[in-house]
């Protein structure tokens, strides 16, 4: 199935993402900030990036911008994990080039449904 | 499919508690000029909120929302930080911690405090409290007036695909509402030579046979609403009423959240005391085990296939054993290292303790901490928390004077308390110092005399200071509510001695009090020196040993009232002959034939007479009390390499035993 890069500074959130996505048969790599994700993204093929917005070292918006600057990631779907309280993050993320968003809190079924939406 | 996310609750709680500690520390030393500090406080709140919602702690996530909003405004520079805000946020940190703790061990959170803090936050934010959650429902219900079909015109902007959105996928998604007929319009398609493959030149007209409501359909395009033109036209209202949206009307794509499965219960299951270990530490252990396996196969090869030993291999055998010894030691250190945590786990609570307590007493106190990264055993950390808290509270309550008194004494108005931790030899030393009034010698002596303790005016200072550790001894004229009553310094001393530690105290009138705790690195292993007395072997903790000498006859003497002494560079130290204490037949009948070890104890230096010194060992401490009974002068036992049992000496106790005789 798809190769997914899960990016979040919270270990529980990362584990939950990885567990759910692996359960659905995806291959998951993890990174705990934007910088680490950028390194991981360049180390191997990625079909989808799911990233938190607020992270230390490099935030999700900067990650999206940086990824879109890489030829291999011009059209790769990138989903941002946002909270309902921050609608401005959605437009900021979109402006940076994000494909869409997943609103926290979400449950595994919602996550898989959204992933399905971009991976088909 | 329903996946159970409750297995991550343990990790979530752990990281949330860490996040709360971080928020607390950050708020206590808030600095407007450090944007990264504000950001990290905000991030911690944000992560807790997001995780709490996901893992089923809805109230926590709702509660944290307000705090997060406040922090966001501060982070954006829309609101300056002030004392009121930081106090409120600190209360919020307490509340969140309380709620999570209640969730993890099934207790109850303090509802009154929650409501109060929540009101305070809402007050700061200027939002009316508790707006009805019904607004969405009304809106959704209005939009629920649906049609039996829709005509949709979907015209992506040229750049839409550059955000990774595929128009065909979006159209395919509409299919789940009902049958589609799709017309692709290629009017805008340029000639092949002008066509850019990465640009979207097409648009679509879609007819959908479905009773979906408009909001549901628009939700399909929510990611691209700024990147396309979207027109939805109803194809005439259907005569049968649309499926009434359930109250609230929200399209619930995922069904009921799986997380509703009692997070509290699973948290309790995962709550078994655990340690988080850096991956590098584990990797280095795995590495060491790998080396051990290699050494083992090397030793195996020393004998030949017939199990005979070739003398020529002795050198190889010796080499192998040397390697084994080194690796065993490293492995031991590595495994002990896993139990080690930085002392900041205890220290981190003190900025808050000092702030709250100084505030309550109307004193101004600055806290300085040093050596927070010093590592010590997890078990010790837990045992250190209460005594240290007591010492710090005591220092603020009884040590630091009021601002007026301080200024009158020519000192800065703000008192200072310093906490310091460092390694010294095989010990951890923790110091608590204040620059307050210091102990009052006369008052201590008078109080001790009134309690019937044996004191005299000529006692050296150190012995007078040590009086505060006597049971039930309290020097404060009035017992304050804050530093508590009943529990005194004697408990501190007992707690520290229970983990093989020592307490020392020094004080100067007008300059403050300085308390030094010396603790072993770990509770399980002791660095010791074996000493021989007759046919017995004892282990003396290395931390207690200052030096050893072979006494000359001139150095030995007797002083009335003290007994035998050793004269060493102008000092007379009491001499304790171990063979007498333990009733063993010594090899050295005269002290000058033996070895005298100078030791450091809580109550001063003393000399131990033994027959001879052995080697330095790391010994595993076995409790004598659990396996036999408590023996005065002995803190435990260990098993030596030859299988014999050796007793571990308790120097403090040996010295006290001697006073009793």
Nearest-Cα residue of chain A relative to residue B37: A56
For chain B, the maximum distance between any two Cα atoms, rounded to a whole number of angstroms, is 119
| Cβ <8 Å between A107 and B259 | yes
Domain that residue A26 falls in: 3-119
pLDDT, residue B236, reads 66
Please state, in angstroms and rounded to a whole number, the distance separating the CA atoms of residues B319 and B299: 9
- Among the ranges B331-335, B369-373, B561-565, which has the highest mean pLDDT value? B369-373
Name which of B61, B65, B255 is nearest A109 (Cβ-Cβ): B255
Mean pLDDT lowest among B61-70, B195-204, B385-394 = B195-204
| Cβ <8 Å between B163 and A94 | yes
Please state, in angstroms and rounded to a whole number, the distance separating the CA atoms of residues B464 and B448: 9
| Average pLDDT in chain B | 79
> Is the pLDDT at B440 greater than 80, yes or no?
yes
The total number of structural domains that make up chain A: 1
Query: Any idea what the CATH number is for the domain that residue A95 is in?
Result: 3.40.50.2300
pLDDT, residue B238, reads 46
Which residues contact residue B409 at a Cβ distance below 8 angstroms, ignoring those fewer than 6 apart?
B401, B510
pLDDT, residue A7, reads 94
| Cβ <8 Å between B42 and A54 | yes
How many A/B residue pairs have CB atoms within 8 Å? Answer: 130
Please state, in angstroms and rounded to a whole number, the distance separating the CA atoms of residues A21 and A23: 5
Mean pLDDT within B422-426: 74
> Is the pLDDT at B526 greater than 50, yes or no?
yes
pLDDT, residue B608, reads 92
Whether A100 has its CB under 8 Å from any CB of chain B: the answer is yes
pLDDT, residue B439, reads 86
Q: What is the mean pLDDT of each run of 10 residues along chain A (120 residues)?
A: 90 89 89 91 90 90 91 89 74 86 85 85
| Cβ <8 Å between B169 and A117 | yes
pLDDT, residue B28, reads 85
> Is the pLDDT at B546 greater than 80, yes or no?
yes
Q: Is the peptide bond before B532 cis (omega within 30 degrees of 0)?
A: no
Mean pLDDT within B426-448: 86
Mean pLDDT within B430-445: 89
Residues of A in contact with B40 (CB under 8 A): 56
Q: Which of B636, B613, B628 is nearest to B531 (CA)?
A: B613
Cα B343 from chain centre: 8
How confident is residue B186, by pLDDT bands cut at 50, 70 and 90?
A: confident
Instruction: Give B62-120 pLDDT, tens digit per residue.
Output: 888 888 888 888 888 888 888 888 888 999 999 999 898 888 777 777 888 888 888 88
pLDDT, residue B135, reads 43
pLDDT, residue B523, reads 65
pLDDT, residue B640, reads 84
**Binding-face residues of A in 29-88 toward B, CB within 8 A:** 52, 54-56, 68, 74-78, 81, 83, 85-86
Please state, in angstroms and rounded to a whole number, the distance separating the CA atoms of residues B40 and B61: 18
Separation in Å, CA of A27 to nearest CA in chain B = 17
How confident is residue B390, by pLDDT bands cut at 50, 70 and 90?
A: confident
């Amino acid at each position: 199935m798809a190769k997914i890069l899960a990016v979040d500074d919270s270990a529980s959130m990362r584990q939950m993402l990885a567990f759910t996505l692996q359960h659905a048969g995806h291959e998951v790599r993890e990174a705990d900030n934007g910088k680490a994700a950028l390194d991981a993204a360049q180390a191997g093929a990625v079909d989808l990036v799911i990233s938190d917005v607020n992270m230390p070292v490099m935030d999700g918006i900067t990650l999206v911008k940086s990824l879109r600057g890489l030829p291999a990631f011009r059209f790769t779907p990138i989903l941002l994990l946002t909270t309902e309280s921050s609608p401005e993050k959605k437009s900021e993320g979109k402006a940076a080039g994000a494909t869409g968003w997943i609103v926290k809190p979400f449950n595994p079924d919602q996550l898989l449904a959204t992933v399905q939406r971009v991976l088909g | 499919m329903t996946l159970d996310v409750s297995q991550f609750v343990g990790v979530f709680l752990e990281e949330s508690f860490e996040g709360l500690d971080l928020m607390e520390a950050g708020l206590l030393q808030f600095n407007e000029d450090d944007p990264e500090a504000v950001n990290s406080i905000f991030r911690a709140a944000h992560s807790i909120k997001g995780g709490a919602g996901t893992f089923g702690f809805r109230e926590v996530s709702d509660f944290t929302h307000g705090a997060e909003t406040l922090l966001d405004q501060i982070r954006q520079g829309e609101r300056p930080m002030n004392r009121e805000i930081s106090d409120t946020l600190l209360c919020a940190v307490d509340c969140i911690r309380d709620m999570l703790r209640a969730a993890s061990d099934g207790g109850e959170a303090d509802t009154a405090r929650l409501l109060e803090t929540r009101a305070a936050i809402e007050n700061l934010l200027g939002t009316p409290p508790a707006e009805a959650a019904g607004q969405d429902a009304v809106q959704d219900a209005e939009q629920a007036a649906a049609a039996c079909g829709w005509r949709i015109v979907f015209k992506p902007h040229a750049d839409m695909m550059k955000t990774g959105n595929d128009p065909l996928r979006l159209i395919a998604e509409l299919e789940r509402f009902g049958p589609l007929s799709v017309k692709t319009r290629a009017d805008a398609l340029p000639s092949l030579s002008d066509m850019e493959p990465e640009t979207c030149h097409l648009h679509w007209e879609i007819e959908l046979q479905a009773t979906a409501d408009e909001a549901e359909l628009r939700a399909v395009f929510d990611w691209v609403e700024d990147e396309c033109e979207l027109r939805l036209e109803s194809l005439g209202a259907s005569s049968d009423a649309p499926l009434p949206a359930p109250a609230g009307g929200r399209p619930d794509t995922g069904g009921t959240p799986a997380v509703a499965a009692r997070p509290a219960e699973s948290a309790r299951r995962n709550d078994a005391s655990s340690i988080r270990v850096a991956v590098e530490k584990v990797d280095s252990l795995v590495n060491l085990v790998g080396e051990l396996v290699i050494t083992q196969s090397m030793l195996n090869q020393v004998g030949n296939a017939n199990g005979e030993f070739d003398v020529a291999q002795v050198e190889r055998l010796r080499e192998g054993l040397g390697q084994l010894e080194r690796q065993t030691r490293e492995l031991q250190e590595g495994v002990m290292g896993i139990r080690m945590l930085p002392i900041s786990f205890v220290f981190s609570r003190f900025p808050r303790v000092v702030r709250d307590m100084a505030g309550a007493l109307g004193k101004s106190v600055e806290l300085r901490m040093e050596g927070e990264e010093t590592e010590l055993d997890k078990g010790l950390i837990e045992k250190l928390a209460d005594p240290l808290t007591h010492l710090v509270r005591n220092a603020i309550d009884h040590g630091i004077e009021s601002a007026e008194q301080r200024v009158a004494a020519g000192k800065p108005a703000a008192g200072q308390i310093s906490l310091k931790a460092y390694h010294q030899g095989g010990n951890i030393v923790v110091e608590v110092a204040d620059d307050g009034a210091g102990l009052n010698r006369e008052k201590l002596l008078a109080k001790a005399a009134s309690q019937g303790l044996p004191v005299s005016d000529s006692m050296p200072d150190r012995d007078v200071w040590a009086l505060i550790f006597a049971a039930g001894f309290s020097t404060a004229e009035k017992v304050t509510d804050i530093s508590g009553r009943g529990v005194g310094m004697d408990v501190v001393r007992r707690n520290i001695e229970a983990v093989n530690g020592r307490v020392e105290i020094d004080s100067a009138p007008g300059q403050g009090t300085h308390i030094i705790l010396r603790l072993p690195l770990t509770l399980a292993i002791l660095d010791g020196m074996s000493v021989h007395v007759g046919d017995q072997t004892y282990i003396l903790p290395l931390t207690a040993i200052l030096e050893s000498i072979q006494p000359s006859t001139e150095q030995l003497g007797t002083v009335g009232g003290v007994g035998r002494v050793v004269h060493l560079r102008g000092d007379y130290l009491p001499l304790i002959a171990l063979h007498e204490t333990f009733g063993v037949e010594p090899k050295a009948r005269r002290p000058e034939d033996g070895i005298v070890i100078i030791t450091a104890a809580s109550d001063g230096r003393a000399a131990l007479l033994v027959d001879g010194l052995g080697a330095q060992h790391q010994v595993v401490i076995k409790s004598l009390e659990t396996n036999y009974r408590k023996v005065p002068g002995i803190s435990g036992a260990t098993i030596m390499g030859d299988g014999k049992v050796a007793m571990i000496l308790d120097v403090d106790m040996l010295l006290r035993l001697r006073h009793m005789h």
